[in-house]
Amino acid sequence: MAQEEAKDGPSCTKDDTMVGKMWNPSLYIGSIVTDPHDRVAILPPRIKESMPSPEPKPGDKGWLYRVLEPYYSRECVDNVMQAMLGGQISSGASWPRRLAEEICRLYKVPVALPTSSGASALHVALLACNLGPHDHVLVPSFTMVAVANMVKMVGARPIYCDCAPGSMNPSKEELLQKTTPLVKAVIVCHTYGIACRDIEAIAELCRSRGWWLIEDICEAMGTKADNGELVGTFGDFSVSSLYANKPITAGDGGWVHAKEQRHHDHLKSLINHGFDPAYHFLHFETAPNAKMNGLGAAFVCSQVKMLPTIMAHRGRLATWYREGLAGVPGIRCMEQRQHDAPWVFGVETESRQKRDQLREHLAAHGIETRNYFYPLHLEPVNFYGGDAGVYDIILPNAEHIAQVGFYVPTHSFLEHSDVAYICGLVRSFFDTSAELPQPPRSRGWADQERSKLLGEAS
């Protein structure tokens, strides 16, 4: 039997899923090593010593403040009902086109196409750049793993860049330090809604070198650069996410937009299997299915006009947090740009140990938090996949803030009293003689506020 299996390969079961070939496939170690501790036991010391601690659990009563909350109005629900009653539920319905018009109007671009996710939008943008094997793409190490994943999925290689000192994002200098003769594109992420301070210089660098510039604004929709322009207006392509934790949401989804009309037909082909508009079942390129369905588009369409108001509230949250945490020893607030309205508000402690202890303290009082991103060059996939040795690269700024930073509740239901309470709990951690503040809310309050919104006539 063993000889037969070796000859014929493992037999398929009803639970097996067969997929097509993907560039740079990686091994899912969880299918082989089921114990989480065993999965990390053989990792190189550099990864094991820096990997995140287990997430803190809430107290017996659960979370009082979630780190993010989906925010939407009765108009969103009414639009979904209208789409359902009219049979306008697929990607071919009118709602995705209406959403595209809203995005074009907001960003003053000629081309926008809704997608199934922010990751699929980035996949499509990279395909539009005609990237493939041997091409290099400069990416920040301090960002979401989807950025590296999509570069790998088109066959290119991500070249990880450090954050600039004191910043969430690489500057032009960090990009130049990692430049190779094979670089063909740059991805700027505006991480956590902090506009890249060098975005204008980076755009000029890309023009002078003939590189594509993709702005990933999945965490920065509505964010303004220091010159007052919206991020997402500097690159050849920009991509965004409409996941439930974003300022505006379709539940899932995203979009890709371009500054030049000439990209419209190619992007439209790339999100839809390479369909040709003249010959329905004649395909001229290999392409994914990255379209957004009509219900998601209907749900988010009316939210686009709310984005400036939502971001103004994010600005007030940032101000309240900075004021509430001013003078707390051992705490540093996240980078502040000219237009200070981050997607999430981050704080940094003096050490990882202090960070973890503070998060446990907040969790015990029902305050959910999240660690900063773990740097992409240190991810275990590099060890288990085809990039062994990448983790030996040292990117000191990204590695440091990943060890000491986390973000606190940041969403559209929060008011000044909520931020004051959270800041009071932070202060009580560093000053044990301070009296614990009393919470201004009871558990389930965010759902109650959401119900009020849904009860309002559109």
**Whose CA is closest to 70, among 272, 303, 317, 278?**
303
| Percentage of the chain modeled with pLDDT above 70 | 94
Cβ(100)–Cβ(255) below 8 Å? yes
Q: What's the confidence (pLDDT) of residue 128?
A: 98
Q: What's the CA gap between 37 and 55, in Å, rounded?
A: 15
pLDDT of residue 360 exceeding 60, the answer is yes
pLDDT at 75: 97
Supply the DSSP symbol for 217.
-
Assigned CATH topology for domain 65-69+307-453: Aspartate Aminotransferase, domain 1 (3.90.1150)
Please check the confidence at residue 117 and state whether its pLDDT lies above 50. Answer: yes
Kindly give the residue spans of alpha helices, DSSP state H, lying in 129-284.
145-153, 172-178, 199-209, 264-270
Give the CATH class of 74-300.
alpha beta
Q: How far apart are CA 458 and CA 440, in angstroms?
A: 29
The three-state secondary structure class of 114 is strand
Q: Please give the pLDDT value at position 19.
A: 37
**In the chain, what are the domain boundaries?**
65-69+307-453, 74-300
Q: Is the pLDDT of residue 8 over 70?
A: no
DSSP string, 342-379: -SSEEEEESSHHHHHHHHHHHHHTTB--EEPPPPGGG-
Quick one: pLDDT band at residue 11, thresholds 50, 70, 90?
very low
Point out the least confidently predicted range of 11-25, 373-387, 423-437.
Answer: 11-25
Ranked by mean pLDDT, which of 15-24, 272-281, 371-380, 385-394 comes out on top?
371-380
Strand intervals (E) in 189-253: 212-216, 237-241
Calculate the average pLDDT of the chain.
Answer: 93
Alpha helices in 113-198 (DSSP H): 118-128, 145-153, 172-178
Q: What is the pLDDT of residue 20?
A: 40
Give me the phi and psi of 447, to 5 degrees please: -65, -35
| pLDDT digit string, tens, across residues 364-398 | 999 999 999 999 999 999 998 878 889 999 999 99
Q: Which residues of 236-266 are buried (b: 16+ CB within 10 A; e: fewer)?
A: bbbbbbbbebbbbbbebbbbbbbbeeebeeb
| Local confidence band at 406 (pLDDT 50, 70, 90 cut-offs) | very high
Asked which of 94-103, 239-248, 379-388, 429-438 is least confident by mean pLDDT, the reply is 379-388
Question: What gap in Å lies between CA 133 and CA 137, rounded to an integer?
Answer: 11
pLDDT surpasses 50 at 136: yes
Q: 324 pLDDT band (50/70/90 cuts)?
A: very high
Q: Give the residue from 137, 131, 90 showing the smallest Cα distance to 114.
A: 90
Least confident of 33-42, 101-110, 168-177, 243-252: 33-42
Pick the closest to residue 25 from 197, 165, 155 (CA basis): 155
The model's confidence at residue 35, banded by pLDDT at 50, 70 and 90, is confident
Average pLDDT over residues 58-82: 96
Q: What is the end-to-end Cα distance of the chain in Å, rounded?
A: 67
pLDDT bucket at 26, cuts 50 / 70 / 90: low
Residue 188 has pLDDT above 80, yes or no: yes
Would the pLDDT of 9 be above 50? no
How sure is the predictor about 13, in pLDDT bands with cuts at 50, 70 and 90?
very low
Tens digit of each residue's pLDDT (9 = 90 or more) over 219-232? 999 999 999 999 99
Q: What are phi and psi of 63, to 5 degrees?
A: -80, 130
Q: What is the pLDDT of residue 458?
A: 54
The larger pLDDT score, comparing residue 300 to residue 280, is at 300
- pLDDT at 330 exceeding the cut of 70: yes
- pLDDT for 277: 84
Range in 109-123, 224-238, 381-395, 426-440 with the lowest mean pLDDT: 381-395
